[in-house]
Amino acid sequence: MSETTGEHASAPLAATADPVLRMRSATLRFGDRVLWNRLNLDVRPGEFIAVLGPNGTGKTSLLKAILGQQSLSSGTLELLGRPVGRGSRQIGYIPQQKLIEQGTPLRARDLVTLGITGHRWGLPVSSPAVRRRVDEVLESVGATSFAGAPVASLSGGEQQRIRVGQAIADSPKLLLCDEPLISLDLNHQHVVSELIDERRKALRTAVLFVTHDVNPILDKVDRVLYLAGGNFRIGTPEEVLRSEVLSYMYGTPVEVIRTRGRVAVLGAPEGYGVHDHLEHHVDDGWHR
Ligand SMILES: Nc1ncnc2c1ncn2[C@@H]1O[C@H](COP(=O)(O)OP(=O)(O)OP(=O)(O)O)[C@@H](O)[C@H]1O
């Protein structure tokens, strides 16, 4: 099997900067289930990393660990050189999409405002500086026209734009996105992924993007973190999304087909879950 490095040739600037996120030998297990074992990961400013893998392999748990909501079983996790704590203003988070319930009294602009003031309860919500920033963010996510509407009355795509606005409102250094394209039509998938990508390009925000389907973001991705079977691989999409790499991880023949700029993974076991983790060779920043 070919080696899967952690570096990416097209990101020379990012590679020289201090990492926004650094994980060393990070392990998460629940009972005897190992979700990921001795994960080494540096995420550089402006890097776009897709987090892939079947259900239940620990993708959301990884985001929760970074958010300080889930303790590691062992290892370390640093955000901008410091141990993570809950509620960091340096992190923007787009949680897995749930439609907002009818009757929720918030307007779209209130959610974006919370993205700024939620960290600082003392600041008056009506301050002109906050209002200006909220207007800017609403405009940047194309939501000005429905800013005053109750969020529950908006379509799924409109709600998702507002969630992106809320997550980027405070200019985080790291944006964590948990399946942000789920249940969106192709057009809205494009709109939402472009919004996230524009943000990382404009402000060098690092992006960790959990998704079941890499295709809508394939042209944006610098590296892939693939989780399966308590094992993981980190590398460029070309390095990781290969038949031999995924067959090894799944422990069964899996075929990766590339056609017309899209990637399809065939033969991954149905309902695949976590099995005993494979023995790893540990190297700096990657596993094989
Ligand atoms: N606090 C916990 N205690 C015990 N088990 C947990 C806990 N949190 C998560 N798990 C289990 O860990 C596994 C991984 O969950 P996680 O939500 O991280 O997976 P995922 O890769 O995001 O899955 P999906 O693709 O289905 O969203 C699941 O089987 C889940 O039930």
- The type of residue at 22 is R
Burial of residue 78 (number of CB atoms within 10 Å: 0-12, 13-18, 19+): middle
| Same-domain check for residues 107 and 141 | yes
| Same-domain check for residues 21 and 86 | yes
Mean pLDDT over all residues of the chain?
83
Separation of CA 62 and ligand 1 centre (Å) = 9
Starting at the earlier edge strand, list the strands of the sheet with 74-79: 33-43, 21-30, 74-79, 82-83
Separation of CA 35 and ligand 1 centre (Å) = 8
Give how far Cα 30 sits from Cα of 70, 133, 173, Å: 11, 41, 30
**Residue 261: what pLDDT?**
84
Ligand 1, atom nearest to 210 Cα: 22
| Same-domain check for residues 83 and 201 | yes
**Residue 188: what pLDDT?**
82
Separation of CA 39 and ligand 1 centre (Å) = 17
Residue 123 in this model has a pLDDT that exceeds 70: no
Minimum CA distance residue for ligand 1 atom 29: 56
**Residue 201: what pLDDT?**
93
| Same-domain check for residues 55 and 188 | yes
Minimum CA distance residue for ligand 1 atom 3: 30
Residue 119 in this model has a pLDDT that exceeds 90: no
Separation of CA 285 and ligand 1 centre (Å) = 24
**Residue 141: what pLDDT?**
86
For residue 97, name the pLDDT band (cuts at 50, 70, 90): confident
Residue 103 in this model has a pLDDT that exceeds 80: no
| Same-domain check for residues 161 and 110 | yes
217 DSSP 8-state letter: G
| Same-domain check for residues 206 and 151 | no
In a domain, 181, yes or no: yes
For residue 255, name the pLDDT band (cuts at 50, 70, 90): very high
Minimum CA distance residue for ligand 1 atom 2: 30
- 286 membership: H or E segment, kind and range: strand 286-287
Domain stop point among 205, 221, 236: 236
For residue 120, name the pLDDT band (cuts at 50, 70, 90): low
| Same-domain check for residues 181 and 201 | yes
| Same-domain check for residues 165 and 132 | yes
**Residue 92: what pLDDT?**
93
| Same-domain check for residues 67 and 188 | yes
In a domain, 113, yes or no: yes
> Worst-scoring range by mean pLDDT, 56-70, 96-110, 172-186?
96-110
Residue 283 in this model has a pLDDT that exceeds 50: no
In a domain, 199, yes or no: yes
In a domain, 42, yes or no: yes
Separation of CA 56 and ligand 1 centre (Å) = 5
For residue 69, name the pLDDT band (cuts at 50, 70, 90): very high
| Same-domain check for residues 62 and 179 | yes
| Same-domain check for residues 84 and 176 | yes
In a domain, 249, yes or no: no
Minimum CA distance residue for ligand 1 atom 11: 56
Ligand 1, atom nearest to 62 Cα: 18
Domain residues for the domain of 74 are 17-90+172-236
**Residue 9: what pLDDT?**
38
CATH of the domain at 53: 3.40.50.300
Residue 84 in this model has a pLDDT that exceeds 90: no
| Same-domain check for residues 114 and 23 | no
The segment with the largest mean pLDDT, out of 80-84, 221-225, 246-250, 270-274, is 221-225
User: Tell me, what's the ipTM?
Assistant: 0.95
In a domain, 257, yes or no: no
In a domain, 254, yes or no: no
- 112 membership: H or E segment, kind and range: helix 108-117
**Residue 98: what pLDDT?**
72
Percent of the chain with pLDDT strictly greater than 70: 84
Total domains present in the chain:
2
* Strand pairing category for 91-94 and 174-178: parallel
Separation of CA 38 and ligand 1 centre (Å) = 18
In a domain, 136, yes or no: yes
The segment with the largest mean pLDDT, out of 42-46, 78-82, 198-202, 260-264, is 42-46
Ligand 1, atom nearest to 70 Cα: 1
